Amino acid sequence: MPQVRIIAKNFMDMVASLPAMKLDKLYENAFICEAILRSLPPLAKKYVLQLLYTDVPVTASSLQEWVLADGASKHRVAIDRLIQLRVLTEILDRKKETTYRLNPMFQMNLREHIVNGGVLPREPMDANTTVRLPSLEDLDIYAAQQWECFLLHLINSAEAEATTKSISPVMMKVFQRGLLSQRDKEGPRLTESGFQFLLMDTNAQLWYIIREYISNSEDRGVDSADLISFLLELSFHVTGEAYNMNTLNDIQRTTVRDLADLGLIKLQQGRKDSWFIPTKLATNLSISLSDASSRKQGYIVVETNFRLYAYSTSKLHCEILRLFSRVEYQLPNLIVGSITKENLYKAFSNGITADQIVSFLQQNAHPRVADRVPSVPENVTDQIRLWELDLNRVEMTTAHFFDDFPSRDLFEAACDFAREYSSLLWEDSKKMRLIVKTEIYALMKDFLSHQK
């Protein structure tokens, strides 16, 4: 069974993939320089800060002396990352010894930013101008609801269809890039990647969507470097504060409206002005994926008899559980189901793996069982993997059976003919019978008719 793995890259992977000229343009913004510094591995941060006020190249051997002998692998990772981002440039001097120095634009702007600080292109609006600003708790609830609504569209459930108008066409196109497929006269269906996407951690899902949103920005006439710059800039805004929409250009306004569909932004309208309010999802954009993936409170309890209890009021949670289990009934705050062989086979056929299901159950374990070792009973996890192995043990291939050969010479000639096409699946030389792949059935019949 083929597996399609979704790799959710963070912003710095997107930045590193930009052409050199666009990278240098990004570093003209001091806040982008700080965002880059935030994202770096600890050792890479140390190198940047130590080189910040060094205006001459530093030899590779000198730089390597800054770490202990057992830190060689981390040193290589740090240097490679800095070179990918063009924060560090390699120089080969006359002695043929490699030297490094900081990107001059990055160095100058980061120096100034650290010493003098910086002012964002927009400041929060006066509290007297804005009214009815949501609390941080309400903002978190809003962000979770928007994200759930967005994912329900992907599952194509009845709940999602009721709110189709709230999702912009641009964001729906993001789904078409690998997560959904559509044939003529049929509705959109989840691909293998789409099923796997639903079991990913929320932060990983967000990075994937943002990556795709940036990737197709050129098709919308938006420069990817400008879009990355604005998204990183959003991470420096204050969660829960209101910012005037009039401070944005047309492309930024469109981006803010698209991000509102994801729950990164909340839009509000006053009598004269309109404003946007960043949620935690927006202000965490410059944090690396591993840093952002802090443990969330789980909701699933799995018993040794394969019964599953999900303490949740979320329609999305119920739809996700249906991907690999049988949901038997749903109470206002409890979903009860069973992990069955039939439902798991359906999940496996959709491209979901046993490891992904086990990982999902472990990551979303209820606090009452999360601290147990293991949090999901071993007999359940072992059986899930065994059922996957059972499914993979037998490979179905369409074939044709031949017998009643008039002579052994003709039988052996037929076997040789099938072997030439790598299509001989089975032979019984005693009874002169063989099985070949369907692809050569017509050729085999033609061959036998000529031999007779």
Largest CA distance in the chain: 99
Q: What is the DSSP string of 97-160?
A: -EEEEE-HHHHHHHHHHHHH----SS-PPPTTT--SPPPHHHHHHHHHHHHHHHHHHHHT-HHH
SS3 percent helix, strand, coil of the chain, rounded to 5, is 50, 15, 35
d(CA 328, CA 269): 43
Q: Do domains 17-116 and 399-451 have the same CATH topology?
A: no
Q: Does the global pTM surpass 0.85? A: no
Answer yes or no: are the C-beta atoms of 32 and 232 closer than 8 Å: yes
Contacts of 165 (CB under 8 A, 6+ apart): none
Q: Which two tokens stand for residue 417?
A: 């003919």
The chain-wide mean pLDDT, for the chain, equals 84
- Annotation: CATH topology of 17-116: Arc Repressor Mutant, subunit A (1.10.10)
Choose between 55 and 11: higher pLDDT: 55
So where are the chain's domains? 17-116, 136-290, 300-393, 399-451
The pLDDT score that the predictor gives to residue 296 is 65
The pLDDT score that the predictor gives to residue 17 is 83
Residue 13 has pLDDT above 60, yes or no: yes
Confidence of residue 279 (pLDDT cuts 50, 70, 90): very high
Which amino acid, residue 165? K
Helix (H) or strand (E) holding 84: helix 72-84
Q: Which two tokens stand for residue 113?
A: 């930013």
Contacts of 63 (CB under 8 A, 6+ apart): 47, 75, 79, 100
Answer yes or no: are the C-beta atoms of 113 and 30 closer than 8 Å: yes
- Tell me the sheet residues that pair with 331: 334
Query: What percent of the chain is modeled with pLDDT above 90?
Result: 35
Confidence of residue 184 (pLDDT cuts 50, 70, 90): low
- Residue for token pair 């910012």: 243
- Annotation: CATH topology of 399-451: Alpha-Beta Plaits (3.30.70)
Range with the lowest mean pLDDT among 10-19, 232-241, 331-340? 10-19
Query: What percent of the chain is modeled with pLDDT above 70?
Result: 89
Answer yes or no: are the C-beta atoms of 382 and 339 closer than 8 Å: no
Confidence of residue 162 (pLDDT cuts 50, 70, 90): very low
CA 193 to chain centre: 10
